[in-house]
């Protein structure tokens, strides 16, 4: 009941010896994630939370059969860190750093596509399949307060809103198959529509909840996909930032990519496109549960 990560995912942490990497890894271990090792160049031989640290990803991945990486590298080092994981054969990589240069993010995206890999981010809060696996800071130290197992997928351009959506579902008796904070940058390494396609093919996901913002073609691509696939699962969209339409074009509020440069970038235009394509667009979080019920998706018992 997940996409991308589950209890069998074997996680390698690039930057495990740093403060943020060590803290998030402690929380991930407590949540049941199979973190198997870490990598910090020059600190091979160290041990953090009982996990061995290696100089290189290639050595770490080979020794521990890692299948995914979480990258805690500074912005200018992200591209080389991701390339190292791709070259080692890892096909799921989560990148938390913000302010990664746009040309680096574009290069990562192109290389990941050639390798048939998924890179979540940059500027992501992480990804979680509740009670199975969490990568990054998503859910914090007690993710069960926010995310419980269930059959609704989440894709959000905002890390904070990933948590809001998860908690809203929990309070209404629903749970999450997988929640993805895809990042709020102008060039996501994996676009929103790619996650939606995976959820649409997942037998354990009944509906998908997306959170969108002004700027980028992400929501337009989702609308185009829905229009081309009339048999898609129910999609509920929450979009914030309509106020931005009252300001001069090119002004960014919040995330770097939340910028209206074209009329189609505006939230009101995206809402219209998504409605016309068959998504249910809601104005308030309190409308999500009733909208799911009208679509025939009802709360399920908490899944272990």
State the catalytic residues: 255
Quick count: other Cβ atoms within 10 Å of Cβ 101? 14
C-alpha to C-alpha distance for 172 and 39, rounded to whole angstroms: 40
HSE-CB of 259 using CA atoms within 13 angstroms: 11
Could you count the other beta carbons within 10 Å of the beta carbon of residue 109?
18
Distance of CA 258 to the CA centre of its chain: 17
Helix boundaries (H) for the chain: 19-30, 57-64, 78-87, 102-114, 159-171, 192-201, 218-228, 267-277, 288-294
| Tokens 């990804």 sit on residue | 127
Neighbouring CB atoms inside 10 A of 294's CB total 10
Q: How many CB atoms lie within 10 A of CB 181?
A: 29
Report residue 257 CA to chain centroid gap.
Answer: 16
CA distance 55 to 109: 25
Q: Which of 204, 193, 197, 202 is nearest to 149 (CA)?
A: 204
């Amino acid at each position: 009941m997940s996409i991308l990560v589950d209890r069998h995912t074997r996680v390698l942490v690039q930057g495990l010896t740093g403060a943020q990497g060590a803290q998030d890894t402690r929380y991930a271990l407590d949540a049941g994630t199979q973190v198997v090792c870490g990598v910090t160049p020059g600190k091979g031989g160290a041990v953090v939370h009982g996990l061995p640290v290696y100089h290189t990803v290639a050595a770490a991945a080979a020794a521990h059969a890692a299948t995914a990486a979480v990258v805690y590298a500074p912005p200018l080092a992200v591209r080389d860190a991701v390339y190292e994981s791709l070259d080692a054969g890892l096909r799921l990589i989560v990148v938390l750093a913000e302010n990664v240069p746009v040309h680096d993010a574009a290069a990562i995206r192109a290389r990941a596509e050639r390798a048939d890999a998924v890179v979540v981010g940059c500027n992501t809060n992480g990804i979680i399949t509740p009670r199975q696996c969490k990568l990054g800071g998503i859910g914090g130290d007690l993710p069960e307060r926010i995310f419980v197992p269930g059959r609704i997928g989440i894709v959000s351009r905002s890390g904070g809103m990933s948590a809001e959506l998860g908690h809203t579902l929990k309070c209404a008796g629903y749970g999450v198959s997988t929640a993805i904070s895809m990042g709020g940058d102008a060039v996501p390494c994996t676009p929103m529509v790619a996650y939606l396609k995976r959820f649409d093919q997942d037998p354990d996901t009944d509906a998908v909840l997306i959170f969108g913002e002004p700027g980028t073609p992400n929501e337009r691509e989702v609308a185009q996909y829905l229009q081309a696939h009339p048999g898609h699962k129910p999609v509920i969209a929450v979009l914030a930032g309509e106020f931005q339409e009252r300001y001069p074009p090119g002004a960014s509020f919040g995330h770097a990519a939340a910028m209206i440069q074209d009329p189609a970038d505006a939230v009101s235009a995206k809402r219209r496109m998504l409605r016309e394509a068959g998504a249910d667009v809601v104005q308030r979080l309190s409308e999500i549960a009733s909208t799911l019920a009208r679509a025939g998706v009802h709360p399920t018992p908490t899944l272990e």
